[in-house]
Amino acid sequence: MKQITVTSPLLPDLGEFNKLLKEIWDSKWITNNGSFHQRLEKALAEYLKVPYVSLFTNGTLPLITALQALRITGEVITTPYSFVATTHALWWNGIKPVFVDIDRKTGCLDPNKIEAAITPKTTAIMPVHVYGKPCDTKAIQDIADKYGLKIIYDAAHAFGVEVNGESILNAGDMSTLSFHATKVYNTIEGGAMVMHDEKTKQRIDYLKNFGFAGETEVVAPGINSKMDEMRSAYGLLNLQQVDAAIEARHQVALKYREALRDVEGIEFWEDLPGVKHNYSYFPIFIDAQKYGMSRDELYFKMREQGVLGRRYFYPLISNFSTYRSLPSATKENLPVATKMAESVICLPMHHVLTDKDIERVLNCIRKK
């Protein structure tokens, strides 16, 4: 039986990739701000409609580096409903995470609950555009302005997402992206930071190269997070086909919605007005009472039939042993996130799902 996985990587044409590899081999320049790296940064800035992009080796290091660059300390308000890397980035900087509940309409940080969590030690907010759903960036910015806080968006899922024609990546002080194999757009492993001005881009470029500003000067205890030439070349090729991949995902979303609209006890989100979505994930939420089966019963039944959805993001980050003892990690503080984590399954969602695959996924859900 063919396994239907939650995602499948967008792969460039091997022949085309080989041609670029030949160029790299000939040049003998394989990393450290090479020409493919420079080309990809420019191409991404243009594609994403943002002023500056700095490439990284994954989506975790730009989060850690953004916190360093902005000299964030003390406490940072963040969401428990994300991949664990979001909170780990705070831990790696010795910052205390303060979890705030999410909005059930988007899965993102609920701006109405942020102010109550601010203390004199709060220095920043780190929201996540989870599943590529845009946060309420205006409300979050208003709070940040009122209290003098920085905002770093974990936009790992939000490649290409726009609100009213404007990139969501332009919100806040900085945004970070993941180009991991499992993402809409990938460079195998990879990531990026988006910033508003040239000086910040320069500083980030120092920080991702050990803090080197020229051959003999080190301006900060930077890290090594440079993307190499092979991945940059792969990324340039994938950029040419990402629009088609997103459109293929869109078609899958339409088919899922059409078929699941009348299934009692299964909820999902529709597209938001004015938003250009990237269809990176297709979460459904199971109301066990109405559906007549618990989330986990359905999840394991799907697995038995070779349909490998995933329970992203269960458990909540706040439930992992590292973070569980934090005062903000309680269930009582996070009722919406707790419910969402306990009811979610992300259905298979990618550009090479066939109609037959989609039917197999839907049959698991429709035939109880």
Footprint of ligand T4K (CB under 6 A): 5-9, 58-60, 82-83, 85-86, 128, 154, 156-157, 178, 180-182, 191, 308, 312
- Is there a contact between 279 and 252 (Cβ–Cβ < 8 Å)? yes
Q: Considering beta carbons, is residue 20 or 126 the nearer one to ligand T4K?
A: 126
- Is there a contact between 269 and 133 (Cβ–Cβ < 8 Å)? yes
- Is there a contact between 68 and 220 (Cβ–Cβ < 8 Å)? yes
Q: How far is the CB of 308 from ligand T4K (least distance, A)?
A: 6
Q: Considering beta carbons, is residue 185 or 291 the nearer one to ligand T4K?
A: 185
How far is CA 339 from each of CA 103, 259, 285, rounded to the nearest angstrom? 11, 24, 9
How far is CA 101 from each of CA 69, 115, 144, 155, rounded to the nearest angstrom? 27, 12, 17, 18
Q: How far is the CB of 366 from ligand T4K (least distance, A)?
A: 23
Question: For 323, which DSSP code?
Answer: T
Q: Considering beta carbons, is residue 6 or 233 the nearer one to ligand T4K?
A: 6
Nearest residue to ligand T4K, by Cβ distance, number only: 59
By the 10 Å C-beta count (0-12 exposed, 13-18 middle, 19+ buried), 72 is classed as: buried
- Is there a contact between 125 and 116 (Cβ–Cβ < 8 Å)? no
Q: How far is the CB of 83 from ligand T4K (least distance, A)?
A: 3
Count CB-CB contacts under 10 A for residue 298: 22
Q: How far is the CB of 59 from ligand T4K (least distance, A)?
A: 3
Q: How far is the CB of 51 from ligand T4K (least distance, A)?
A: 22
Q: Considering beta carbons, is residue 85 or 353 the nearer one to ligand T4K?
A: 85
Q: Considering beta carbons, is residue 54 or 58 the nearer one to ligand T4K?
A: 58
Half-sphere exposure of residue 210, counting CA atoms within 13 Å on the CB side? 7
Q: How far is the CB of 110 from ligand T4K (least distance, A)?
A: 17
User: Which phi and psi (to 5°) does residue 329 adopt?
Assistant: -90, 0
Q: Considering beta carbons, is residue 10 or 291 the nearer one to ligand T4K?
A: 10
Q: How far is the CB of 52 from ligand T4K (least distance, A)?
A: 20
Q: Considering beta carbons, is residue 68 or 178 the nearer one to ligand T4K?
A: 178
By the 10 Å C-beta count (0-12 exposed, 13-18 middle, 19+ buried), 274 is classed as: exposed
